[in-house]
Amino acid sequence: MNVITFFGRAYTGKAQLAQKAADVLGCKVLYDQDIIDEAAGLYKLKKSSIENSIFKDPPFADRYTRTKAKCIAAVKSVLADKIKQGPVVVSGFIGRLIPSELGLHILVTAPKDFRNRKIQHETANNTPIDTQKQLERSDESFLRWSLYLRLAESRRPMDCDGIVNVTTTGKTDLIELISNAGLNKKEEMSPQEFAMAADVSRLMAEKGHPVSVAARHDQVDLVVHKPVLMFSRYGKKLANIVQSVNGINKVNTRTGRLFYQTDILPGSNYFKTPTPAPIKKQYEQLYARVTERRPAFMNRATAEHRLVAGHA
Protein backbone atom coordinates (compact mmCIF):
# COMPACT_ATOMS: atom_id res chain seq x y z
CA MET A 1 0.00 0.00 0.00
CA ASN A 2 1.55 3.28 -1.14
CA VAL A 3 -0.49 5.65 1.01
CA ILE A 4 -3.12 5.68 3.75
CA THR A 5 -5.17 8.82 4.29
CA PHE A 6 -7.15 9.75 7.39
CA PHE A 7 -9.70 12.52 6.91
CA GLY A 8 -12.85 13.82 8.56
CA ARG A 9 -14.09 16.60 10.75
CA ALA A 10 -11.83 18.30 13.28
CA TYR A 11 -11.22 16.97 16.80
CA THR A 12 -11.97 13.35 15.92
CA GLY A 13 -8.50 12.01 16.72
CA LYS A 14 -7.47 11.38 13.13
CA ALA A 15 -3.98 12.86 13.63
CA GLN A 16 -3.24 10.51 16.53
CA LEU A 17 -4.60 7.57 14.56
CA ALA A 18 -2.42 8.53 11.59
CA GLN A 19 0.67 8.72 13.81
CA LYS A 20 -0.08 5.30 15.29
CA ALA A 21 -0.48 3.85 11.79
CA ALA A 22 2.82 5.41 10.71
CA ASP A 23 4.61 4.00 13.77
CA VAL A 24 3.29 0.50 13.09
CA LEU A 25 3.99 0.62 9.35
CA GLY A 26 7.36 2.37 9.72
CA CYS A 27 6.62 5.34 7.48
CA LYS A 28 6.23 9.11 7.73
CA VAL A 29 3.09 11.11 8.49
CA LEU A 30 2.29 14.05 6.24
CA TYR A 31 0.09 16.75 7.75
CA ASP A 32 -1.67 19.55 5.88
CA GLN A 33 0.73 22.20 7.09
CA ASP A 34 3.78 20.18 5.99
CA ILE A 35 2.49 20.03 2.43
CA ILE A 36 1.37 23.67 2.42
CA ASP A 37 4.77 24.90 3.61
CA GLU A 38 6.63 22.94 0.95
CA ALA A 39 4.23 23.93 -1.85
CA ALA A 40 4.54 27.60 -0.92
CA GLY A 41 8.33 27.49 -1.04
CA LEU A 42 8.62 25.35 -4.15
CA TYR A 43 6.09 27.23 -6.28
CA LYS A 44 6.59 30.73 -4.85
CA LEU A 45 3.08 31.02 -3.44
CA LYS A 46 1.89 32.70 -0.26
CA LYS A 47 1.11 30.24 2.51
CA SER A 48 -1.93 32.30 3.41
CA SER A 49 -3.25 31.95 -0.16
CA ILE A 50 -2.93 28.16 -0.02
CA GLU A 51 -4.52 27.99 3.43
CA ASN A 52 -7.42 30.18 2.31
CA SER A 53 -7.89 28.03 -0.79
CA ILE A 54 -8.26 24.90 1.33
CA PHE A 55 -9.70 25.90 4.68
CA LYS A 56 -11.65 29.08 3.87
CA ASP A 57 -13.27 31.02 1.08
CA PRO A 58 -10.50 32.90 -0.75
CA PRO A 59 -10.43 36.71 -0.37
CA PHE A 60 -12.80 38.61 -2.65
CA ALA A 61 -9.96 39.80 -4.89
CA ASP A 62 -8.97 36.18 -5.57
CA ARG A 63 -12.44 34.89 -6.46
CA TYR A 64 -12.12 35.80 -10.12
CA THR A 65 -8.51 34.77 -10.61
CA ARG A 66 -6.74 31.41 -10.94
CA THR A 67 -5.25 31.65 -7.45
CA LYS A 68 -7.32 28.86 -5.90
CA ALA A 69 -6.70 26.44 -8.76
CA LYS A 70 -2.97 27.22 -8.77
CA CYS A 71 -2.65 26.71 -5.03
CA ILE A 72 -4.45 23.38 -5.00
CA ALA A 73 -2.55 22.15 -8.07
CA ALA A 74 0.74 23.02 -6.34
CA VAL A 75 -0.31 21.13 -3.23
CA LYS A 76 -1.27 18.12 -5.32
CA SER A 77 2.13 18.13 -7.05
CA VAL A 78 4.00 18.12 -3.74
CA LEU A 79 1.75 15.37 -2.41
CA ALA A 80 2.32 13.24 -5.53
CA ASP A 81 6.09 13.66 -5.21
CA LYS A 82 6.01 12.53 -1.57
CA ILE A 83 4.03 9.42 -2.45
CA LYS A 84 6.51 8.52 -5.21
CA GLN A 85 9.34 8.57 -2.67
CA GLY A 86 7.82 5.81 -0.56
CA PRO A 87 4.87 4.75 1.58
CA VAL A 88 3.31 7.60 3.59
CA VAL A 89 0.36 8.27 5.88
CA VAL A 90 -1.56 11.48 5.22
CA SER A 91 -3.69 13.20 7.84
CA GLY A 92 -6.04 16.09 7.10
CA PHE A 93 -7.90 17.79 4.29
CA ILE A 94 -5.18 17.48 1.65
CA GLY A 95 -5.27 13.68 1.56
CA ARG A 96 -8.66 13.96 -0.13
CA LEU A 97 -6.87 15.14 -3.28
CA ILE A 98 -5.57 11.60 -3.74
CA PRO A 99 -7.91 9.57 -5.98
CA SER A 100 -9.77 6.65 -4.43
CA GLU A 101 -7.97 4.35 -6.91
CA LEU A 102 -4.66 5.01 -5.12
CA GLY A 103 -4.06 4.01 -1.52
CA LEU A 104 -6.45 3.39 1.34
CA HIS A 105 -8.78 6.18 2.47
CA ILE A 106 -10.30 6.21 5.95
CA LEU A 107 -13.05 8.56 7.13
CA VAL A 108 -12.59 9.16 10.88
CA THR A 109 -15.48 10.05 13.17
CA ALA A 110 -16.17 10.43 16.88
CA PRO A 111 -19.17 11.34 19.05
CA LYS A 112 -19.77 14.98 19.88
CA ASP A 113 -18.85 14.65 23.57
CA PHE A 114 -15.46 13.18 22.58
CA ARG A 115 -14.83 16.11 20.22
CA ASN A 116 -15.82 18.62 22.92
CA ARG A 117 -13.34 17.11 25.37
CA LYS A 118 -10.64 17.12 22.71
CA ILE A 119 -11.14 20.83 22.03
CA GLN A 120 -10.72 21.60 25.73
CA HIS A 121 -7.63 19.40 25.96
CA GLU A 122 -5.94 20.85 22.87
CA THR A 123 -6.54 24.48 23.82
CA ALA A 124 -5.35 23.84 27.38
CA ASN A 125 -5.92 27.34 28.73
CA ASN A 126 -8.19 29.09 31.19
CA THR A 127 -10.10 31.05 28.56
CA PRO A 128 -13.74 29.91 28.29
CA ILE A 129 -14.35 28.23 24.93
CA ASP A 130 -17.65 27.96 23.09
CA THR A 131 -17.13 24.42 21.91
CA GLN A 132 -20.39 24.44 19.97
CA LYS A 133 -19.25 27.36 17.79
CA GLN A 134 -15.79 25.86 17.47
CA LEU A 135 -17.23 22.61 16.16
CA GLU A 136 -19.63 24.44 13.83
CA ARG A 137 -16.77 26.44 12.28
CA SER A 138 -14.58 23.39 11.79
CA ASP A 139 -17.46 21.36 10.34
CA GLU A 140 -18.34 24.18 7.96
CA SER A 141 -14.74 24.24 6.74
CA PHE A 142 -14.76 20.47 6.19
CA LEU A 143 -18.03 20.56 4.27
CA ARG A 144 -16.89 23.53 2.16
CA TRP A 145 -13.76 21.60 1.16
CA SER A 146 -15.81 18.48 0.46
CA LEU A 147 -18.12 20.41 -1.82
CA TYR A 148 -15.19 21.92 -3.70
CA LEU A 149 -13.80 18.42 -4.26
CA ARG A 150 -17.17 17.24 -5.46
CA LEU A 151 -17.29 20.01 -8.07
CA ALA A 152 -13.65 20.25 -9.13
CA GLU A 153 -12.35 16.73 -8.51
CA SER A 154 -15.54 14.64 -8.75
CA ARG A 155 -14.99 13.28 -5.22
CA ARG A 156 -18.03 11.91 -3.39
CA PRO A 157 -18.53 11.41 0.36
CA MET A 158 -18.35 7.65 -0.17
CA ASP A 159 -14.98 7.80 -1.95
CA CYS A 160 -13.37 6.07 1.01
CA ASP A 161 -12.51 2.50 1.90
CA GLY A 162 -13.73 2.52 5.46
CA ILE A 163 -15.17 4.55 8.30
CA VAL A 164 -13.60 4.46 11.75
CA ASN A 165 -15.07 5.34 15.14
CA VAL A 166 -12.05 6.16 17.31
CA THR A 167 -13.94 5.76 20.60
CA THR A 168 -15.01 2.16 20.04
CA THR A 169 -11.74 0.34 20.48
CA GLY A 170 -8.03 0.92 20.98
CA LYS A 171 -5.82 2.43 18.30
CA THR A 172 -3.81 -0.78 17.94
CA ASP A 173 -6.92 -2.78 17.12
CA LEU A 174 -8.08 -0.12 14.69
CA ILE A 175 -4.74 -0.16 12.90
CA GLU A 176 -5.01 -3.94 12.55
CA LEU A 177 -8.47 -3.56 11.00
CA ILE A 178 -7.21 -0.86 8.64
CA SER A 179 -4.14 -2.89 7.69
CA ASN A 180 -6.34 -5.86 6.80
CA ALA A 181 -8.48 -3.59 4.64
CA GLY A 182 -5.32 -2.40 2.89
CA LEU A 183 -4.25 -5.96 2.12
CA ASN A 184 -7.63 -6.62 0.51
CA LYS A 185 -7.64 -3.52 -1.67
CA LYS A 186 -6.35 -3.67 -5.21
CA GLU A 187 -4.92 -0.33 -6.28
CA GLU A 188 -5.95 0.77 -9.75
CA MET A 189 -3.53 3.69 -9.98
CA SER A 190 0.22 3.90 -9.41
CA PRO A 191 2.05 6.78 -7.70
CA GLN A 192 3.67 7.58 -11.07
CA GLU A 193 0.27 7.94 -12.72
CA PHE A 194 -0.93 10.21 -9.94
CA ALA A 195 2.22 12.30 -10.31
CA MET A 196 1.63 12.63 -14.05
CA ALA A 197 -1.97 13.72 -13.44
CA ALA A 198 -0.73 16.24 -10.84
CA ASP A 199 1.75 17.72 -13.34
CA VAL A 200 -1.00 18.14 -15.90
CA SER A 201 -3.35 19.64 -13.29
CA ARG A 202 -0.73 22.24 -12.40
CA LEU A 203 -0.17 23.07 -16.07
CA MET A 204 -3.93 23.42 -16.65
CA ALA A 205 -4.24 25.70 -13.60
CA GLU A 206 -1.41 27.89 -14.83
CA LYS A 207 -3.10 28.23 -18.23
CA GLY A 208 -6.52 28.88 -16.72
CA HIS A 209 -8.37 25.78 -17.90
CA PRO A 210 -10.79 24.29 -15.29
CA VAL A 211 -10.43 20.58 -15.95
CA SER A 212 -10.02 17.49 -13.81
CA VAL A 213 -7.28 15.09 -14.82
CA ALA A 214 -6.78 11.34 -14.65
CA ALA A 215 -3.78 9.41 -15.97
CA ARG A 216 -3.41 5.78 -16.96
CA HIS A 217 -0.07 4.51 -18.24
CA ASP A 218 0.92 7.06 -20.92
CA GLN A 219 -2.61 8.33 -21.46
CA VAL A 220 -4.31 11.35 -19.89
CA ASP A 221 -8.05 12.01 -19.65
CA LEU A 222 -9.19 15.63 -19.34
CA VAL A 223 -12.72 16.40 -18.14
CA VAL A 224 -13.81 19.94 -19.01
CA HIS A 225 -15.91 21.74 -16.41
CA LYS A 226 -16.89 24.89 -18.28
CA PRO A 227 -19.07 25.70 -21.29
CA VAL A 228 -17.03 26.42 -24.44
CA LEU A 229 -17.85 27.01 -28.06
CA MET A 230 -16.50 24.53 -30.61
CA PHE A 231 -15.56 21.84 -28.12
CA SER A 232 -13.52 19.78 -30.56
CA ARG A 233 -11.23 22.73 -31.24
CA TYR A 234 -10.92 23.40 -27.53
CA GLY A 235 -10.02 19.77 -26.92
CA LYS A 236 -7.24 19.97 -29.50
CA LYS A 237 -5.94 23.11 -27.82
CA LEU A 238 -5.79 21.34 -24.45
CA ALA A 239 -4.13 18.30 -26.00
CA ASN A 240 -1.40 20.47 -27.54
CA ILE A 241 -0.70 22.03 -24.13
CA VAL A 242 -0.58 18.68 -22.35
CA GLN A 243 1.83 17.15 -24.89
CA SER A 244 4.59 19.23 -23.28
CA VAL A 245 4.47 16.98 -20.19
CA ASN A 246 6.97 14.12 -20.37
CA GLY A 247 5.64 10.59 -20.76
CA ILE A 248 2.27 11.43 -22.32
CA ASN A 249 1.45 9.86 -25.69
CA LYS A 250 -2.32 10.21 -25.82
CA VAL A 251 -4.81 12.81 -24.56
CA ASN A 252 -8.57 12.26 -24.35
CA THR A 253 -10.93 15.16 -23.70
CA ARG A 254 -14.56 14.92 -22.68
CA THR A 255 -17.22 17.10 -21.11
CA GLY A 256 -17.99 16.96 -17.40
CA ARG A 257 -21.32 17.39 -15.68
CA LEU A 258 -20.70 21.14 -15.27
CA PHE A 259 -20.11 21.64 -18.98
CA TYR A 260 -23.69 22.61 -19.75
CA GLN A 261 -24.05 24.93 -16.77
CA THR A 262 -26.16 27.86 -17.93
CA ASP A 263 -24.28 30.59 -16.07
CA ILE A 264 -21.09 30.89 -18.12
CA LEU A 265 -19.85 34.01 -16.34
CA PRO A 266 -17.24 33.48 -13.60
CA GLY A 267 -19.54 33.50 -10.58
CA SER A 268 -18.75 33.21 -6.90
CA ASN A 269 -20.31 29.76 -6.46
CA TYR A 270 -17.14 27.99 -7.63
CA PHE A 271 -15.02 29.86 -5.10
CA LYS A 272 -17.45 30.42 -2.26
CA THR A 273 -18.45 26.75 -2.23
CA PRO A 274 -21.62 26.81 -0.11
CA THR A 275 -22.69 23.66 1.69
CA PRO A 276 -26.16 22.66 0.47
CA ALA A 277 -28.20 20.01 2.20
CA PRO A 278 -27.49 16.98 -0.05
CA ILE A 279 -23.76 16.59 0.59
CA LYS A 280 -24.10 17.59 4.25
CA LYS A 281 -26.89 15.07 4.69
CA GLN A 282 -24.79 12.32 3.14
CA TYR A 283 -21.95 12.94 5.58
CA GLU A 284 -24.32 13.20 8.53
CA GLN A 285 -25.83 9.84 7.62
CA LEU A 286 -22.41 8.24 7.37
CA TYR A 287 -21.35 9.69 10.71
CA ALA A 288 -24.60 8.69 12.40
CA ARG A 289 -24.35 5.10 11.28
CA VAL A 290 -20.85 4.68 12.66
CA THR A 291 -21.29 6.66 15.91
CA GLU A 292 -24.77 5.60 16.97
CA ARG A 293 -24.25 1.88 16.48
CA ARG A 294 -20.58 2.22 17.45
CA PRO A 295 -18.87 -0.31 15.16
CA ALA A 296 -15.09 -0.04 15.26
CA PHE A 297 -14.66 -0.15 11.52
CA MET A 298 -17.14 -0.09 8.67
CA ASN A 299 -15.93 -0.95 5.18
CA ARG A 300 -17.08 0.89 2.09
CA ALA A 301 -19.58 -1.71 0.91
CA THR A 302 -21.36 -1.77 4.26
CA ALA A 303 -21.34 2.01 4.55
CA GLU A 304 -22.73 2.46 1.04
CA HIS A 305 -25.50 -0.03 1.80
CA ARG A 306 -26.47 1.85 4.95
CA LEU A 307 -26.25 5.20 3.20
CA VAL A 308 -28.62 4.01 0.48
CA ALA A 309 -30.91 2.55 3.13
CA GLY A 310 -30.95 5.94 4.83
CA HIS A 311 -32.25 7.59 1.67
CA ALA A 312 -35.03 5.02 1.30
pLDDT at 41 > cutoff 80: yes
Q: What is the pLDDT of residue 264?
A: 40
What CA–CA distance (Å, rounded) separates 279 from 154? 13
**Mean pLDDT over the full length of the chain:** 82
Phi/psi at 278 (5° precision) = -55, -55
Q: pTM, whole model, 2 decimals?
A: 0.83
pLDDT at 266 > cutoff 70: no
Question: Which pLDDT band holds residue 261 (cuts at 50, 70, 90)?
Answer: very low
Question: Which pLDDT band holds residue 246 (cuts at 50, 70, 90)?
Answer: confident
Q: What is the mean pLDDT of residues 17-23?
A: 92
What CA–CA distance (Å, rounded) separates 268 from 270? 6
Q: What is the mean pLDDT of residues 192-205?
A: 91
What CA–CA distance (Å, rounded) separates 27 from 3? 10
Higher pLDDT, 83 or 62: 83
Burial of 249 (0-12, 13-18, 19+ CB in 10 A): exposed
Among the ranges given (45-59, 74-88, 298-312), the one the predictor scored with the smallest mean pLDDT: 298-312
Higher pLDDT, 2 or 273: 2
Among the ranges given (11-20, 43-52, 77-86, 300-309), the one the predictor scored with the smallest mean pLDDT: 300-309
